[in-house]
Amino acid sequence: MSGKRLSRRRVLRAGATALGGGAVALAGNAGAGAAPAQAPAIATGTQTGRTFRGLVRHDATLDVQEMRLLPIDPRQVVIRSLAVAPCYTIVRGALGTNAIRRAEVPNHCGFGVVEAVGPMVKRVQVGDRVVVAGTSQCGQCYQCLHGRPDYCQFTFFSNAPGVEPFAPFAQFRDGTPVYAQAGIGGMSEIMTAFEEYCVPVFTDLPAAQLTLLGDQLASGFAAGHADMVFQPGSDVVVFGAGPVGLGAVQAARVMGAGQVIVVDPIKYRREFAMKMGATFTLDATAEGDGIVERIRELCRGPNDRRFAGGVSWGRAANAVISRGADFVVEAAGLQTLPPKVEPQPDPANVKTVLHAWDCTRAGGHVMLMGFTLQPVPFPGASLALFGRTIHPGQQGGLHVMRDIPRYVKLIEKGKIDAQSVITKRYTLDQSRQAVQDTADRTIITGVIEFS
Ligand SMILES: [Zn+2]
Ligand SMILES: [Zn+2]
């Protein structure tokens, strides 16, 4: 027991620091005096000590462990998980076999039912079903006030070097603290998220579909209408037919794109993209560097008479730059582990980013969603002169409180197909396999359903 007390003290210290780190968001909150009246019957800490299970990366392994819940912050929410889809960005860290310094529940999104709230929480109530999104929207930080909640400072706040941004939310039986990745986790029966990440949804849609709105599907769909906006009849190109890229394909379909060209080395994903709204697919491996001219040809249009609205097709450089797609989404990303299906021809993703840029017409728009860890050499004169707008791909420009409720309606109306992109379902005990299958790319999206 003394180990537990020691750990609690450590937890409280870390918790105070985390709160300090989030002070930007806190400072603007409504008067504390108003909070108690709105607080529901279950107050902070009443669930402390509750035991639950979850997938944990600890020591040199990843397995399902039993944990005990620690006290929550006054602005945190206790959520009983219903469903979660592991994101490809977590697979390398989660499946690694190196010994790590702290235990952590992987992932950065989820879906569940609110079971308790801290006394300062206003956005959600006990009983609400909530999407826990990968990005917060506090509504009060500098970024939120300037129309960029996709860069909400509650998500992108800085902390003192060496200080954990979020306190641990649970502990093992022996008192070892357990953290949630990005302060969210998601692959455990209980999550404790700050309310800024929680989006209540009022619908009867199944949890397995709604959990896709916390990250992959929502981010991909946002790519076509949140910051970068696909125009009806336009040429759209999507690199990568994974869960994110397919969200962009669906956005192109819903927004009425003229043609939707999908590039992916994996055959089953290209075939699946056609069912989601692609009008043409290209094999990234077979096309190689010729992909750019191939796409330009596909976007050539029915005539090259510039006075008749056609794309000029002369040989001079100033004619070449006007060729290409109106909107391009790079959602191929880094290949962090070798897949069991066709590998990416460009695992570092540097060339793919340049291909995406190059096949965008002058004055067109390109969104870079996939990570590239190496420098990408853009020709400076082209950056200045070609008039291509680069949009940042962080969650596709998603404003979680504005957009997730919209996407719920679009799923209800059958406009967004969230059902078909779920290729496999797992129990918590099979959750490690869900991460492995995500890494192997043998599935589009795997969903872990909690019983
Ligand atoms: Zn993610
Ligand atoms: Zn904010």
CB atoms within 10 A of CB 350: 16
Query: What is the Rg, in whole angstroms, of the alpha carbon atoms belonging to the chain?
Result: 23
Centre of ligand 1 to C-alpha 13, Å, is 29
Handedness of CA 51, 52, 58, 63 (dihedral sign): positive
Centre of ligand 2 to C-alpha 385, Å, is 34
Centre of ligand 2 to C-alpha 40, Å, is 24
Ligand index nearest the alpha carbon of residue 107: 1
Residue from 241, 245, 243 nearest 224 by CA: 245
In whole angstroms, what is the distance from residue 48 CA to residue 36 CA? 20
Centre of ligand 1 to C-alpha 219, Å, is 9
Evaluate if residue 83 carries a pLDDT over 90: yes
Report the pLDDT value the prediction gives residue 254, as an integer from 0 to 100. 98
Identify the band that residue 124 occupies on the pLDDT scale cut at 50, 70 and 90: very high
Centre of ligand 2 to C-alpha 70, Å, is 26
Which DSSP symbol is given to 425?
E
Evaluate if residue 352 carries a pLDDT over 50: yes
**What are the residues whose beta carbons fall under 8 Å from the beta carbon of 65, sequence distance 6 or more?**
53, 54, 55, 56, 58, 103, 172, 178
Centre of ligand 1 to C-alpha 135, Å, is 10
In whole angstroms, what is the distance from residue 211 CA to residue 279 CA? 28
Q: What is the pLDDT of residues 182-234, one digit of tens each?
A: 999 999 999 999 999 999 999 999 999 999 999 999 999 999 999 999 999 99
Centre of ligand 2 to C-alpha 248, Å, is 25
Give the residue-averaged pLDDT of 18-30. 30
Token couple for 257: 């794109």
More confident call, 233 vs 316: 233
> Cα-flanking dihedrals φ and ψ of residue 268, to 5°?
-65, -30
More confident call, 141 vs 30: 141
Centre of ligand 1 to C-alpha 244, Å, is 9
Ligand index nearest the alpha carbon of residue 22: 2
In whole angstroms, what is the distance from residue 336 CA to residue 330 CA? 16
Q: What is the pLDDT of residues 238-261, one digit of tens each?
A: 999 999 999 999 999 999 999 999
Centre of ligand 1 to C-alpha 400, Å, is 14
Report the pLDDT value the prediction gives residue 5, as an integer from 0 to 100. 39
Which DSSP symbol is given to 31?
P
Evaluate if residue 37 carries a pLDDT over 80: no
Centre of ligand 1 to C-alpha 310, Å, is 40
Report yes or no: 263 and 240 within 8 Å, Cβ to Cβ: yes
3-state secondary structure of 413: coil
In whole angstroms, what is the distance from residue 350 CA to residue 356 CA? 10
Centre of ligand 2 to C-alpha 290, Å, is 42
Half-sphere exposure of 175 (CA within 13 A, CB side): 11
Centre of ligand 1 to C-alpha 316, Å, is 42
Handedness of CA 332, 338, 342, 343 (dihedral sign): positive
User: What is the residue type of 41?
Assistant: A
CB atoms within 10 A of CB 102: 12
State how far Cα 294 lies from the chain centre: 30
Ligand index nearest the alpha carbon of residue 247: 1
3-state secondary structure of 383: helix
Evaluate if residue 165 carries a pLDDT over 90: no
Centre of ligand 2 to C-alpha 395, Å, is 15
**What string of H, E and C letters represents the secondary structure of 139-182?**
CCCHHHHCCCHHHCCCCCCCCCCCCCCCCCCEECCCCCEEEEHH
Ligand index nearest the alpha carbon of residue 243: 1
Global pTM value: 0.89
Percent of the chain topping pLDDT 90: 79
Ligand index nearest the alpha carbon of residue 147: 2
Centre of ligand 2 to C-alpha 89, Å, is 23
- Lowest mean pLDDT: which of 88-97, 310-319, 363-372? 310-319
Identify the band that residue 8 occupies on the pLDDT scale cut at 50, 70 and 90: very low
Residues with CB under 5 A from ligand 1 (ion): 87, 89, 215
Give the residue-averaged pLDDT of 374-389. 91
In whole angstroms, how far apart are CA 358 and each of 177, 322, 372, 387, 416?
48, 11, 17, 12, 30
Report the pLDDT value the prediction gives residue 24, as an integer from 0 to 100. 27
Centre of ligand 1 to C-alpha 349, Å, is 17
**What are the residues whose beta carbons fall under 8 Å from the beta carbon of 44, sequence distance 6 or more?**
71, 72, 74, 116, 118, 119
Handedness of CA 47, 48, 53, 55 (dihedral sign): positive
Centre of ligand 2 to C-alpha 35, Å, is 20
Average pLDDT over the chain, rounded to an integer: 89
Centre of ligand 1 to C-alpha 3, Å, is 35
Q: Which of 20-29, 146-155, 298-307 has the highest mean pLDDT?
A: 146-155
CB atoms within 10 A of CB 315: 6
Give the residue-averaged pLDDT of 7-24. 34
Evaluate if residue 146 carries a pLDDT over 90: yes
Report the pLDDT value the prediction gives residue 33, as an integer from 0 to 100. 33
